[in-house]
């Protein structure tokens, strides 16, 4: 059994959500509010339309950094993330809600929702760099797919994005290639 602390699991959930949203930027099915709501961001359902719109803009601005992470070593990533951190206004507190156990919140509940989400994402990236470096940030191994993923597997065995077709079409192609050789 793998023991995961509340902050570790919050970091992972936040990174997976951020990567999922960045993957869907520009796609016609971008669903910022429902995605965040499903991931447990309690203010997502009541956030204003303006806040959601600002969040989409901030996510586009953050997209180049997230997209670069799989190709960066930890030191390069640290430099980029430190630049983001100098601009980030946070006001941390220890929270304990919904039975998760004590963990840090980076913004007060009065902060605009989009600011809260962006602070959560940047702090999750920063904490991930301290814990694991960049090794868990990956890009889909399927041909013609550039989607990103966060590899939360214990032995870092993840190869494909969350689109199940990528794994299956690659396995089919591998199988055909093997048949040809044989
Ligand atoms: Zn929390
Ligand atoms: Zn893919």
Q: Find the 74 Cα to ligand 1 centroid distance in Å.
A: 27
Ligand closest in space to the Cα of 143: 2
> Helix, strand or coil for residue 3?
coil
Identify the domain containing residue 74 by its residue range: 6-181
Q: How many domains does the chain have?
A: 1
Q: Is 176 within a domain?
A: yes
pLDDT digit of tens for each residue in the chain (182 aa)? 445 677 778 899 999 999 999 999 977 778 999 999 999 898 999 999 999 999 999 999 999 999 999 999 999 999 999 999 999 999 999 988 878 788 889 999 899 999 999 999 999 999 999 999 999 999 999 999 999 999 999 899 999 999 989 998 887 777 778 777 65
What residues are neighbours of ligand 2 (ion), with CB under 5 Å? 140, 142, 145, 147, 161, 163, 166
The residue behind tokens 């669903």 is 31
Q: Find the 42 Cα to ligand 2 centroid distance in Å.
A: 29
> How far apart, in whole angstroms, are the C-alpha atoms of residue 31 and residue 52?
10
CATH number at residue 177: 1.10.3300.10
Q: Find the 164 Cα to ligand 2 centroid distance in Å.
A: 8
């Amino acid at each position: 059994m793998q023991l995961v602390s509340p902050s570790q699991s919050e970091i992972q959930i936040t990174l997976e959500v951020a990567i999922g949203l960045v993957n869907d930027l520009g796609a016609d099915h971008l669903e910022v509010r429902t995605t965040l709501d499903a991931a447990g961001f309690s203010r997502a359902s009541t956030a204003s339309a303006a806040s959601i719109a600002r969040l989409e803009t901030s996510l586009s601005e953050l997209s180049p950094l997230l997209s670069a992470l799989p190709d960066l070593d930890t030191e390069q990533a640290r430099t980029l993330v430190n630049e983001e951190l100098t601009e980030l206004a946070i006001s941390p507190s220890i929270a304990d809600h919904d039975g998760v156990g004590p963990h840090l919140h980076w913004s007060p509940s009065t902060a605009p929702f989009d600011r809260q989400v962006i602070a959560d994402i940047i702090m999750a990236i920063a904490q991930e760099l301290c814990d694991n470096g960049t090794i868990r940030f990956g890009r889909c191994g399927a041909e013609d797919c550039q989607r990103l993923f966060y590899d939360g597997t214990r032995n870092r065995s993840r190869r494909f994005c969350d689109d199940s077709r990528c794994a299956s079409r690659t396995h089919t192609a591998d199988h055909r290639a093997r048949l040809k050789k044989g």
